[in-house]
Structure 1
């Protein structure tokens, strides 16, 4: 099988080159895997160009050893989407070497425990390629394709981006947007926490339209620890369902239950894994309107709810405990499955969503797709749909 090795030398605080030259490539050769091509990336988008060119000369299924963060995989998938579709279906399987900041995909496939801050090694996926781990089939990954219709009249004005991890708006998108300015001074995950503090009191005015997967939209019921149909009405076929803002938090994931080794924001991806088909994504929502102590959009109410939002996000670091949180009769947050008031977190599983921001809310127009921050055009929307078919490519990961 053709084998390509691609790595970003500046990842891992500049240690990726040494790690690949002294560990990864010798390990491949020791076990009889001699790469057809080894490529360091030199600029943004380079990895995608390398993969597209490699596939032109490589026949059949291809293995790619990728040393990077989630963003480089995102670049590769977007490059495949932009390239001409193959004449016959191509299978690409990645061995992931986590060299980025958060490494959500790797951390989800090879999770840490609270007592073990990092995965056992960076080589678990590579070991699977080499047959050194317990036998397991590569895992096909679901992709989320987000399209951005333009408000112009140009025929080709629609933009798109593809995620293998997360697509978000509201607080998470604002965090990613603002964290870039902090990268030079805070290269680790600390910059995300700083950006969160800068945006935590902001609310985002939009309408979300949930799109069915097959014939259903599902919502998590914390009292039974199961997904149930939404809305709970008798119907043979579920149509789209609208959820009205403002929103404090809106995020959807495919494949992953966490965005950092211990930040398990979408825990049901693994504790209640989605059956395939159809392709689905998990959506995590926090809305101020569900808090009966919030009466208006005053500064005091925003600050009050910001504290509760931080409580929710903090609970995600406790093995995803936030999905069990509810409001008690006094409006305070409790971790009690029997609490009579509604859940603090709304957790949906469906085929996709539309985000329709109010024109006057500039920050509500930000959308983040695997770290790439995009903007919804005025009087337009973003549409995100889950799929396992990428223009004739089948994408998997060695696990």
Structure 2
């Protein structure tokens, strides 16, 4: 284990994220805690705008070729920015591990909340210093899986691009929520804006073709079986052509907000492979479905509020089933409302006529698939460019 004195340590925080208190928190709590432990950072930097965090990290790595650690005060978006800068703007000739010390300063802090389960009994300041304390105690950092999403094909080939995610990659309702929530950020800076955006999009369905890709190490796709309370090999078709209400995948996290456990099996049944957890809701699986009409969509939206409420109830939504009449609840039999897959990746080919189906969300950044194109998302263990492994102190 490398001692702190042999590490080059970058302290980096985003003063504009969350409620704009990162600078105060670092000056009051983080920097004094490091000083009391005899840990001297090589540099302390506050970000100055979009893209600056990635530039700072790359410059730091070029100046310090040995072992490093990055104390990062931000939300998930700044970490996403750094990882993508490392992937596409940093040339590295040797394998390198980059451990992060996370100090949550953002709005949702999905990664931090997943690694350090929130508790109402814990001191609010101490709860934000858990990763820092693990670093000070020289705990072994945990590897982060990544999701690599490429937007390919279509009539505008110049729009093709690849993005790395460390938390979530989604389409359908979640991508629409993230797109519209940005318009609400100024008036509703907290997580309540996501609920408002959800209500604005709750009746939308998204037409697409989907292919689930097997886990590379096993060659299979798994699906959650509520009766067995475990994953089993998926026997259905890996190709789906349907209307989707929800389609979301995660790496590393079981929640997107401290209380919103959308992929609870990520932590309860940890994967032994590099994989994605994918949750899917297809309205046409509803036994009450007869045809796609505005009335049908409104009726389905009224029922699916249960899905969101279940996610806020410790991830209980994955146990909800349909009754024969289409009612949703925690029943002992019936088709699952939420299909929960564990796979190596997925392809999303949106219907050309459905503009909203072309939205892809990667860690809060909303992209658009070119008309006639598709999104391909794969779980990976390291940043391909230079084989950089990202880790976090837990």
The TM-score bracket by the shorter chain reads over 0.9
Q: Counterpart in 2 of 1:209?
A: 211
Q: Counterpart in 2 of 1:284?
A: 279
2:336 equivalent among 331, 339, 343: 343
Q: Counterpart in 1 of 2:3?
A: none
1:87: how far off? 1.0
Are 2:218 and 1:218 aligned?
A: no
Mark the CA change 1:67 to 1:360 in structure 2 (over 3 Å): closer, same or farther: same
Are 2:312 and 1:317 aligned?
A: yes
CA distance in 2 between counterparts of 1:114 and 1:298 reads 44
Q: Counterpart in 2 of 1:270?
A: 267
Q: Counterpart in 1 of 2:231?
A: 227
1:60: how far off? 2.3
Deviates more, 1:287-296 or 1:318-327: 287-296
Deviates more, 1:64-73 or 1:385-394: 385-394
Given that residues 118 and 261 in structure 1 are in contact (C-alpha distance below 8 angstroms), is that contact kept between their aligned partners in structure 2?
no
Q: Counterpart in 2 of 1:198?
A: 200
CA distance in 1 between counterparts of 2:122 and 2:299 reads 34
Q: Which runs of 5+ in 1 are unaligned?
A: 233-239
CA distance in 1 between counterparts of 2:120 and 2:344 reads 32
CA RMSD of aligned residues (A): 1.7
After TM superposition, the structure 1 = structure 2 runs for residues 171-182 of structure 1, keeping only pairs within 5 Å, are 171-182=173-184
1:187: how far off? 0.0
Deviates more, 1:145-154 or 1:89-98: 145-154
Q: Counterpart in 2 of 1:236?
A: none
CA distance in 2 between counterparts of 1:35 and 1:150 reads 45
CA distance in 2 between counterparts of 1:351 and 1:328 reads 31
Deviations 1:113-171 (A, max 9, x none): 5777979511000000101xxx74211000000001143576x7630111100000000
1:385: how far off? 0.3
Q: Counterpart in 1 of 2:4?
A: none
Given that residues 102 and 261 in structure 1 are in contact (C-alpha distance below 8 angstroms), is that contact kept between their aligned partners in structure 2?
yes
Are 2:255 and 1:253 aligned?
A: no
How does the TM-score come out when normalised to structure 1?
Answer: 0.93
After TM superposition, the structure 1 = structure 2 runs for residues 1-399 of structure 1, keeping only pairs within 5 Å, are 1-113=7-119, 121-131=127-137, 136-152=139-155, 158-214=160-216, 215-231=219-235, 241-276=238-273, 279-336=274-331, 338-339=332-333, 341-390=334-383, 391=385, 392-399=387-394
Given that residues 155 and 372 in structure 2 are in contact (C-alpha distance below 8 angstroms), is that contact kept between their aligned partners in structure 1?
no
Given that residues 125 and 398 in structure 1 are in contact (C-alpha distance below 8 angstroms), is that contact kept between their aligned partners in structure 2?
yes
Mark the CA change 1:356 to 1:6 in structure 2 (over 3 Å): closer, same or farther: same
CA distance in 1 between counterparts of 2:242 and 2:39 reads 53
Given that residues 117 and 262 in structure 1 are in contact (C-alpha distance below 8 angstroms), is that contact kept between their aligned partners in structure 2?
no
Deviations 1:298-325 (A, max 9, x none): 1211111101221101110000000000
Deviations 1:67-88 (A, max 9, x none): 0000000000000011243111
Give the number of equivalent residue pairs: 384
Given that residues 288 and 324 in structure 2 are in contact (C-alpha distance below 8 angstroms), is that contact kept between their aligned partners in structure 1?
no
Mark the CA change 1:394 to 1:343 in structure 2 (over 3 Å): closer, same or farther: same
Mark the CA change 1:157 to 1:364 in structure 2 (over 3 Å): closer, same or farther: closer
Write out the 4+ residue segments of structure 1 that deviate beyond 6 Å after TM superposition: 114-119
DSSP-derived class of the 1:205 partner: strand
Given that residues 113 and 262 in structure 1 are in contact (C-alpha distance below 8 angstroms), is that contact kept between their aligned partners in structure 2?
no
Deviates more, 1:160-169 or 1:25-34: 25-34
Deviations 1:328-384 (A, max 9, x none): 232211202x21x21000000000000000000000000000000000000000000
How does the TM-score come out when normalised to structure 2?
Answer: 0.94
CA distance in 2 between counterparts of 1:344 and 1:158 reads 34
